[in-house]
Chains A and B, each alone.
Chain A
Amino acid sequence: MSTLHLIFSRTGYDACKQRCKHDDAVLLLQDGVYANTAGKAVYALESDSLARGVHNRLRNATFINMEQFVELTSQHKPVVSWR
């Protein structure tokens, strides 16, 4: 199983990006949706992205809901939080 990185802020993303492998999954949530992920394939929590008005700016993101978030956590190990 590959690692799932949960990104809670812009600084969290900056700390994570040099330390994640190609097959790792990255999910933006809460203020993590503000992260500049330019060109990187990431997941983003749809509700948090819509709430903050950044939905259209996250061009390479796959938007997921809470149920899919749960599914994602069950498909990866370990889960690493970057606040």
Chain B
Amino acid sequence: MHHVRELTMRELKLLLLLRRAPYDGVYVPEALDAALVAAAFELKVSILLLDDAVFGLLPDQRADLIGRRTVGKLLLALPDYEIERVYVCGDSLSSRGLHAGDTVIPVQVLSAGEQAELFGSHDIVWND
């Protein structure tokens, strides 16, 4: 118990790394749920979106039409759970014709080098 408390006090930093397209199975919504639980347990959670995961940032998604949960809406709810650091790969955005200004939530655009540094500044990395 003492050990657990010590870990909590040090504030573990968790990075959720998302790479899959938002409606490729239920991986992305499930991973986001896990991140919310982690945040509820007072881990400091950040999210990094790469590759096709950046499509989850598009506004005006209507996943109810395909019987799914709308990933854009899940992302919008993140600040309510004190997840405020959402990072995105600049190359992944631009190669898909997207811009940081078009996203459903504010994101911080990172270069490949900055992403490498980001991993090193976290204790745990989870995947979708």
Contact = CB atoms under 8 A, between A and B. Distances in A.
Interface stretch (A16-24, A31-39, A52-60): A16-24
Is chain A's binding surface mostly helix, strand, loop or mixed? loop
A79 interface: yes
B125 A15 contact: no
Given A15-B19, A15-B50, A80-B17, A2 B125 contact: no
Interface residues of B, number: 16
Contacts of A80: 17, 119, 125
Interface in A1-48: 2-3, 15, 18-21, 24
A78 B19 contact: no
A77 B123 contact: yes
Contacts of A83: 19, 127
A81 interface: yes
28 contacts: A2-B120, A3-B119, A3-B120, A15-B19, A15-B50, A15-B51, A18-B112, A19-B112, A19-B115, A19-B119, A20-B116, A20-B119, A21-B116, A21-B120, A24-B119, A77-B123, A78-B15, A78-B119, A78-B122, A78-B123, A78-B124, A78-B125, A79-B125, A80-B119, A80-B125, A81-B127, A83-B19, A83-B127
